Amino acid sequence: MTAWLLTFLIHSTLWCGAAWLGLRLFPGAHARLRETIWHTALAASLITPTVHSATSWDSAFWQLPMPAVIAAEERHSQGEPGHRDGVASVFPPSSEETHTAEMALPPGWLASAGTLWVVFAGGLLAFYFLRLGTLRRRLSEREPVTDPRASRALAALSRRASLAPVPRLTESDNLGSAVALGAGTGREICVPVRALHELDEEELRALLGHEVAHHLRGDPIRLAILNVLQAVFFFQPLIRLAAREIRSAAEELCDDWAASQVDDRFAMASCLAEVAGWVVRRDRRTPVPCIGRRRSQLERRVRRLMAGHGSPRASSSPWRRMSAVGLLILAPSVAPAVAPAPEAPHEDQQAVEGARPGEHERLRERAQPREHSSSTNLEHDNDSNQHENHEGENHD
């Protein structure tokens, strides 16, 4: 598992870094293209390490060496160190290397690191579910909307988006911005109470159209997946960057779709400008899609709409999806494989022995006292035999 996480860290840095660099070079890219690039980068970050862990390392075009401490711990967890295929290794590690490895990290550190990762990821996931529970308590007193103009507008927008059944429409005093809740037959749109009193008909239609677009795209599920990825892979900051950029692109695309559903093309911009004054601090960390979290983001989106940059049909070519699928197919071959250093084969014994002259000198020095002791004992035995022979001759 640690080897997979190391590979994921390297690959996610490669893919998300390439996505960030490419979009920095082309800052005017359409929101749909930006969203596709980031989705492809996240998918490749998960696919390539999984494919490499299930296939041979040789399938990749290039390889990166696995850190020695991780490779040693992986071998230790799989079997006794110094053994290969059930046979004792001919080349045990030198005392200096063994002492360095023991001083660097204690045995079993990978298991401790894995436990720490699980604890942190579990804590962040628990915090995410806590935010969902807090939002549910905030909306516990919401009520169905009875305004007929809002109901008619939502029904017409749902027909255009082919949403069936029509999402449930509710209102709450504890919201500063409209939110999209649920999925499938449990879809719901909750709006601030003041939206029904302070927005004109076109602005209200634009507000509802924005939330309908979130349901049309399946953003409640997408945002939930992004939140889980951020919690599980908290050690990779580029995942958080990708999630932020995907949310930004999603808001722009929903603005474009809503603006295309109203007669006044500035109604969406006027709606956003009005909502910017309603946003409160607790809306910033809303864990579900909403029309606005921060006033600065709303102001930027207003300027974008006023400049006429919105285009719901831009970059909708099927070549965009085909290109993304093709990149994902080729990604495992392009991404580097993180492989442990190869072990020395048995036929290279002489070369390895010649590479360690100092070790042979130490062995020779250890053997010299034994040889000296043996020769001394042999000489003493010879002297004893000669003395006994001499005494026998004198007796005769």
What is the per-residue pLDDT for 359?
Answer: 53
Angle at 95 between CA 90 and CA 97, to 5 degrees: 90
Residue 161 pLDDT exceeds 80: yes
The fraction of the chain above a pLDDT of 70, given in percent, is 70
Whether 9 shows a pLDDT value over 90: the answer reads yes
Give the mean model confidence (pLDDT) for residues 66-86: 53
Helix intervals (H) in 185-317: 195-198, 201-217, 219-232, 237-259, 267-276, 295-306
Question: 84 in helix, strand or coil?
Answer: strand
Lowest mean pLDDT of 54-63, 134-143, 271-280, 331-340, name the range: 54-63
For residue 171, pLDDT beyond 50: yes
**DSSP three-state, residue 173:** coil
pLDDT tens-digit series, residues 106-152: 556 566 777 888 899 999 999 999 999 999 999 999 999 999 999 99
Residue 109: per-residue pLDDT = 57
Question: Does position 392 have pLDDT exceeding 90, yes or no?
Answer: no
Residue 139: the pLDDT is 92
Choice among 89-93, 174-178, 316-320, 336-340 with the minimum mean pLDDT: 89-93
Cα–Cα dist 196/103, whole Å: 68
Average pLDDT, the chain: 79
Question: Residues 34, 25: contact at Cβ < 8 Å?
Answer: no
Query: In the prediction, which pLDDT does 384 show?
Result: 54
The first and second tokens of residue 281, run together, are 């601090």
Model pLDDT, residue 353: 47
Is the per-residue pLDDT at 32 higher than 60?
A: yes
Task: In whole angstroms, give the CA distance from residue 289 to residue 220.
Answer: 6
Instruction: Answer yes or no: are the C-beta atoms of 291 and 177 closer than 8 Å.
Output: yes
